[in-house]
């Protein structure tokens, strides 16, 4: 069960890295929780700004569907904030948006038969470095609501549990229905950037493996399984 075993730490480099160090002994659902991170990791080798006030966790999980873990995590984050009437949206693959700004991100790493699900949620962060201000924000800055971190953490564990259980019992359609509810992607024109190519098209769906389904300008249908996604209109 997610959150039954919690390692709660002050500042560490990265909860994902700490999770790797305890991986072999950790029971399924173990969570590493840090008050702040000195070297928080984002996607594509970026740094994740991790001062006190944010929520930084890594969950160690076994799963039959690793490709859907970011989807289930995104839904779990949105449902957690929904409890406080904070309406967020999922930008594929795993950014959580509030008022057009990113307030949470998900970084998954697969090691042997386990997955480390890292979540950074900008809860009570009061300021961001200049270079992040345009795209990033926090729940506090956007809503003026100061949420208790531990209460949100407990809510998040219970929502993650709910959707992890759906995933593991192969109730994928139910999971995707939640994604449809929260996504900001459907009907949008996007560019998906991969290291060797980029692809532009209109988002028409997501599939059972979490791939985005795009209609390209000529009408051809393509799947995007990974990459950086830019919404252009
Ligand atoms: C992203 O780039 O959107 C993903 C950000 C993931 C950040 C979280 S914070 C907790 C966990 N530990 C890390 O070092 N990174 C993830």
Q: Where are the domains of the chain?
A: 6-182, 189-231
Q: Domain 6-182: which topology?
A: BirA Bifunctional Protein; domain 2 (3.30.930)
Report how far residue 74's alpha carbon sits from residue 153's, in angstroms, rounded to the nearest whole number: 14
Report how far residue 110's alpha carbon sits from residue 160's, in angstroms, rounded to the nearest whole number: 18
Report how far residue 185's alpha carbon sits from residue 158's, in angstroms, rounded to the nearest whole number: 26
Q: Residue 233: pLDDT above 80?
A: no
192 φ/ψ angles, rounded to the nearest 5 degrees: -105, 120
Å from CA of 71 to ligand 1 middle:
15
Closest ligand 1 atom number to CA of residue 34: 10
Å from CA of 58 to ligand 1 middle:
8
Report how far residue 149's alpha carbon sits from residue 117's, in angstroms, rounded to the nearest whole number: 19
CA distances from 110 to 66, 116, 196 (A): 8, 6, 23
In this prediction, residue 137 carries a pLDDT of 98
Asked if residue 112 lies in contact with residue 61, where contact means CB atoms within 8 angstroms, the answer is: no
As a whole number, mean pLDDT of residues 26-46 equals: 97
What is the assigned CATH class of domain 189-231? mainly beta
In this prediction, residue 194 carries a pLDDT of 87
DSSP state of 184: S
Q: List pLDDT tens digits, range 127-168.
A: 999 999 999 999 999 999 999 999 999 999 999 999 999 999
Mean per-residue pLDDT over the chain, rounded: 96
DSSP state of 26: P
Q: List pLDDT tens digits, range 185-216.
A: 999 999 999 888 899 999 999 999 999 999 99
Q: Residue 66: pLDDT above 80?
A: yes
Asked if residue 139 lies in contact with residue 86, where contact means CB atoms within 8 angstroms, the answer is: yes
Closest CA to 102 of 70, 138, 146, 147: 138
Provide the 3-class DSSP secondary structure of residue 233. coil
Q: List pLDDT tens digits, range 179-188.
A: 999 999 999 9
> Does the model's pTM come out above 0.95?
yes
**Per-state percent for the chain, helix, strand, coil, to nearest 5:** 30, 35, 40
| Ligand 1 touching residue 56 (CB < 6 A) | yes
Long-range contacts of 128-131 (CB under 8 A, 24+ apart): 128/49, 129/49
Buried b (16+ CB within 10 A) or exposed e, 68-98: bbbbbbbbbbbbbbeeeebebbbbbbbbbbb
Given ligand 1 and candidates 48, 95, 132, which is best to mutate, with the most ligand atoms within 8 Å of its CB? 48
């Amino acid at each position: 069960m997610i959150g039954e075993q919690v390692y709660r730490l002050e500042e560490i480099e990265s909860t994902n890295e700490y999770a790797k160090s305890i991986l072999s002994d950790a029971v399924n659902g173990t969570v590493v929780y840090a008050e702040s991170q000195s070297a928080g990791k984002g996607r594509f080798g970026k740094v994740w700004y991790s001062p006190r006030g944010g929520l930084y966790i890594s969950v160690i999980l076994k799963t039959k569907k690793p490709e859907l873990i970011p989807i289930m995590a995104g839904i779990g984050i949105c449902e957690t904030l929904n409890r406080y009437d904070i309406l967020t949206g999922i930008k594929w693959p795993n950014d959580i948006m509030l008022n057009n700004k990113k307030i949470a991100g998900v970084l998954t790493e697969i090691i042997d038969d386990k997955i480390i699900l890292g979540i950074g949620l900008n809860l009570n962060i009061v300021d961001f470095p200049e270079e992040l201000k345009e795209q990033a924000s926090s729940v506090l800055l956007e809503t003026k609501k100061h949420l208790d971190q531990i209460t949100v953490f407990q809510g998040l564990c219970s929502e993650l549990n709910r959707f992890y259980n759906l995933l593991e019992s192969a109730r994928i359609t139910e999971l995707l229905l939640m994604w449809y509810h929260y996504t900001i992607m459907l009907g949008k024109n996007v560019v998906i950037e991969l290291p060797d190519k980029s692809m532009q098209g209109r988002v028409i769906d997501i599939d059972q493996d979490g791939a985005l389904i795009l209609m390209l300008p000529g009408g051809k249908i393509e799947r995007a399984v990974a990459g950086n996604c830019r919404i252009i209109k």
